[in-house]
Amino acid sequence: MNGDRLRAEIIRAETALREVEQLTKADTKLQGAKEIVKDIVGSYNDARRAQRAKIAYVLHVLEERGELGVGEATADTDAVTRESRPAPAKAGAEPKGRTRAA
């Protein structure tokens, strides 16, 4: 295809996209389904927001106290609790030796 044909193809595709968007907005069944989903998901989103607010508050308090520990974490240390933790297993890796139950 030459440049003119490619440009014409872009215009056709843009026009088709606009039509699909208009049809989507006009579809009352789809809009109703979106409202139902929005209502159902709302309580989950509220719970997420509440937990994120708690995290933000606790981080703020720790930062004010100078206990946040920014920059002190290593790959084997949890940034918040500063407790050692095992490194994550690599995908497909076989366990080395015996492991004991926690």
Question: What are the residue ranges spanned by the domains of the chain?
Answer: 3-65
Residue pair 67/60 in contact (Cβ under 8 Å)? The answer is no
For the entire predicted model, the pTM comes to 0.44
- Residues 10-23: tens digit of each pLDDT: 999 999 999 999 99
Specify the 3-state DSSP secondary structure of 60. Answer: helix
More confident site: 7 or 101: 7
